[in-house]
Amino acid sequence: MKLLQLFCLLSVFLFNNMASAAVTEAPAIKLPSVNGELDLAKLHGKVVYLDFWASWCAPCRKSFPWMNEMMSNYKEQGLEVVAVNLDKDRKLADEFLQKVEAHFTVAFDPLGDSANAYKLRGMPSSYLIGRDGKLYATHIGFREKDKLKMEQAIQQLLKQ
């Protein structure tokens, strides 16, 4: 338990915009995806980088290459990247995905129910979920200067 508490404290220091609150169960998500259905519960045992995005979000466009890189670098160690689109019109998301490659799971939530469950406060927002299905950290926005810190948090959870 002390190791878990230490990780939570470390997360606070690692991320300017990343918050680590009391470790809680990650809310369930079942949504249609590009390749069928996303059921977050089926990813139990993996570290999940969950990202909420929309086609109109400029920082979201910049985050996709980084998420592709993280998926490529850490998939074999148990990382899954999941991006949930919140556009009300699926056509907008599809047009975005024709221009920006996604080598990870992309799901669609036009009603925003999953965003509400995660108490989304900005766009993009990401959540780091441990192998145990618990939510360890959140991050709002995407900036170049945060990439290394976010990767370090992913690496820490993969080691557990």
- pLDDT of the residue at 10: 36
pTM: 0.85
Superfamily of domain 2-159: Glutaredoxin (3.40.30.10)
- pLDDT of the residue at 24: 87
- Is pLDDT of 16 > 50? no
Q: What share of the chain is helix, strand, coil (3-state, %, to 5)?
A: 40, 25, 30
Q: Which two tokens stand for residue 6?
A: 């230490």
> pLDDT-based confidence at 114, cuts 50/70/90?
very high
Helix (H/G/I), strand (E/B), else coil: 1: coil
